Structure 1
C-alpha cells in the first residue's frame, strides 16, 4: 500500500521549491499527498520563489533556477492545491481559562481532540510542514498544529519541517511540562546568517515586517537544550538533519534532499543523518 503524506501549507505564502522538492520525491514513489491549511483557504506560493531573477539578499544570488521556477509555478497553478483540509475544522480549539464552565469545556475539548487526532494520525504515514515566510504568521504558534505535531510524534510517525516551518516544532509542547518537543534533539533551520535585514513579506498583507520577527536559530538552540543541538551548516550547500521522528531542512536547496531522506525514513527505517 502506498504511503500517505499530510502536507501543511501557510495561507500567507509558501516558498515554491520547499513544496516542490519533497512533493516530487513523493510523486515519484506513488505516495498519496493531502494538503492542509489553517482555515482551509487555498495556499499560494510567494512571488519571489517563482522568479529566477530574484536575488536573495543574504546569499547575494538567485536561489531559484528557471527550471525550478517553472515547476513550482505549475504546481502552484494546478488544481492539486484546491480545496485543502482545514485545520480549524478538524481540530477543536482549547478553551480560554476564563470560560464560565472551564472544567466541563476542557473535558469536552480533550474528548473531541483525542477523537480528531486518532482519525487524522491514523490516516497518514508522515507529516510535512512547508517553509517560507508565511509559516511565521499562521503556523509557528498555531496551537491546533502543535497538537497534530505532538500526536504524530507520539505515534512515532516522521515529521519533516523546512525553513521557518521548523519553528512549529520548537513551540509544540505539552502544557503540563512546557518543554519543547525538540528538547534533546538535533535539528537544522534558518540560521541567523540567512535572515533578511529588511523585506520580510507575506501574501495578503500589505506590510513589510523588516527582518523576521524572531531569529529562528536562537529559538532552536534554546528549544533543543544542552543534550540536543542546532546545526546551521553555514558554508555548506546542503543542511538536512534526521533525528527521528524529525527531519529538518535549513532552506530552499535542502528541500529535495529532505524529501529523499523522509522517504528513507519511511522505507528503510533511517533514524539519524547529518550530525
Structure 2
C-alpha cells in the first residue's frame, strides 16, 4: 500500500528546495502527502530560495539553481492548488491551558483526551516531515501543537524527519512530565554555526531584518542530544543527513533531496542508522 506523509510548514517562509526535494522524492515513490501549517494559511517560499542569483553569505556562492528556482516559483504560485488548503494545527490540535486557569484540572483532562484521539487520527500517516527555512523560528519551534504531533509519532515509533531550522522542533518537543528532549542520546544534524547568517535573517510578510538567527541552533542541538548523543555539523561536507531512528535530520538546503531519500529508505528498507 502507498505510504502517507504529513508535512509541516511555517507560515512565515519555508526554504523552497527543502520542500521541493522531499516532495519530489515522495511523489516519485507514489506517496500520499498532506500539508499542515499553524493556522491553516497557505505557506509561501522565502524569496531568496527562488532566486538563482542569490549568493548565500556563509557559503559565498549561489545555492539555488535556475532549475530549482523555476520549480519553487511554480509551487509557490498562488494559482497552484497543491498548497492551497493545508490543515490547520490550531483547529486540529487542542490548546494547552494556562496553569492559572480556575478549571485547570478539567481542562488538562480534556486536553489529554483530545491528544489520545489525535493519536488515533495520526495513525493514517507513516511519517512526519518538518520543512526548514527561517520561518520555523517564528511559528514552529516553540509551538506546542507541533510538539504534540511529534510526540504522537514518537509514541507510534514512526519516522520523524526535519530539516535545517525545523530540527529545533525536535529539541523542544518534550513530555510535560519529565521535560527531557526526545533527541537526548540521539545523533542529529541541523543548521550549524558556521553556516548561520551574520546579517539578513528575514521572514515573509515583514520587512524585518533580524540580523543573525535569534538562537544558535547548533548549540541547542548539542545541549539537547547530551553526552550520550551528538550533533554533527559536517562543515565542509556538501551533504549532511543523519538517521538515528526514528529521527531523520538534514542540515540545510543541499540536503533536501537526501533527507527525502533517506526517509524513503527508512520506510521501504527499514534503515535505522546512517551518517554517523
Per the shorter chain, which TM-score range?
A: over 0.9
Say whether residues 1:235 and 2:236 are aligned partners. yes
- Measured in 2, the distance between the counterparts of 1:86 and 1:190 equals 27
- Measured in 2, the distance between the counterparts of 1:105 and 1:63 equals 47
Give the CA RMSD over aligned residues.
0.7
Unaligned runs of at least 5 residues, structure 2: none
The offset of 1:117, in angstroms, is 2.9
- Measured in 1, the distance between the counterparts of 2:124 and 2:90 equals 18
Structure 1-normalised TM-score? 0.99
* Residue number in structure 2 paired with 1:36: 36
* Contact 1:19-1:130 within 8 A present in 2 as well: yes
- Measured in 2, the distance between the counterparts of 1:113 and 1:175 equals 13
- Measured in 1, the distance between the counterparts of 2:258 and 2:108 equals 41
Correspondences of 1:136-155 after superposition (within 5 Å)? 136-155=137-156
* Residue number in structure 2 paired with 1:210: 211
The offset of 1:159, in angstroms, is 1.0
Q: Which secondary structure does the structure 2 equivalent of 1:160 belong to?
A: strand
Count of residue pairs the alignment pairs up: 274
* Contact 1:91-1:117 within 8 A present in 2 as well: no
Q: Which secondary structure does the structure 1 equivalent of 2:123 belong to?
A: helix
- Measured in 1, the distance between the counterparts of 2:120 and 2:219 equals 33
* Residue number in structure 1 paired with 2:178: 177
Q: Which secondary structure does the structure 1 equivalent of 2:242 belong to?
A: strand
The offset of 1:116, in angstroms, is 2.0
- Measured in 1, the distance between the counterparts of 2:104 and 2:7 equals 33
Structure 2-normalised TM-score? 0.98
- Measured in 1, the distance between the counterparts of 2:161 and 2:73 equals 22
Moved runs in structure 1, 4+ residues, more than 3 A?
none
- Measured in 2, the distance between the counterparts of 1:256 and 1:88 equals 29
Say whether residues 1:76 and 2:62 are aligned partners. no
